[in-house]
Amino acid sequence: MRLSNDSAELVPRTSFDGPELRFEFPGLEAGVAEYDEGPTGCTVFLFPDGPVAASIDVRGGSPGISGAGYELLDAVCLAGGSLYGLEAAAGVAAELLARREYRTGWLDIPLVAGAIIFDWGPRDNAVYPDKELGRAALRAARPGLFPLGSRGAGRSATAGKLFAYDQGEPAGQGAAFRQVGETKVAVFTVVNAVGAIVDREGNVVRGHYDRSTGLRSALVAGVEQRLAAGKPIRPPPGNTTLTVVATDLRLDQRQLRTLGRQVHASMARAIQPFHALEDGDVLFAISTGAVASDPLLDTTALGVVASEVAWDAVLSLVD
């Protein structure tokens, strides 16, 4: 029998060694939980001071999401396991229900959104992030600390699969933080893309790697070379980049929606190609509203800053 949640005695893992981002962002907590048996996991963002303003930008041909219409959120859950991994978001909601002493009033219902990646390319089992793993990740949520690399929802994530070289290279979850004036901006991203990671000099630094030659292919050159050699370009399905952009600057729904679009579009500089048919890219834009206004930043300037932070977050996977 194939290893699955029904056949294995799964124990959530919530403490990790390795690289991490430390940051100061009141009103935002992050928690990570994994099943080593997958390996797979989930990453939860909790807004402990109450629901925050939220907008979602969905691109690519294969998204998997829940709670997409919510304009207020108490938590976001990113997970592996494809559509089965959305169960982890239900676990986050269940844990919040318990914290609220099982109150079921209209304003007591926790608002939780979820999004998933397909992470079965590098592994051969049926283990997925379930309700218990989502609960464990929420219990582990802490302010100011975020594990980087092959952790959480990015435990089995890979990147750079346009040319289908052995299912790409390990990627994972990245993050970056910046403060401009009074305003804080944090970006967290789980990269499981068909595209490769590209640095600011235009070099492919993760993915499109041919193990038979030891060479990486630049996007356009690689396409041209394969076509000239009569080789097909058929990237495998099951790819997605999930992103959370959080700021404490107060934004209305129109501003949040525009911020999300601007940052999501900008990430095509860091991941190439991006928003492909084989991708299911999802970005959550969040405003905690702690800063009423900032004379240094309008929404467009905030988008420029957040876009650079997003690039930093992707590149944190290869630092």
CA atoms of 249 and 286, how far apart (whole Å): 10
Contacts of 6 (CB under 8 A, 6+ apart): none
Distance of CA 4 to the CA centre of its chain: 24
Helix ranges, the chain (H): 87-99, 131-139, 219-228, 253-266, 299-315
How many CB atoms lie under 10 A from the CB of residue 200?
11
Q: Which stretch of DSSP H or E encloses residue 17?
A: none
Residue 144, token pair as written in the block:
């100011």
Residue 192, token pair as written in the block:
């499981």
Given the residues 240, 243, 247, 288, the one annotated as active site: 240
* Known catalytic residue at 241: no
- The CB-side HSE value for 251 (13 A sphere, CA atoms) comes to 32
- Active site positions, annotated: 240
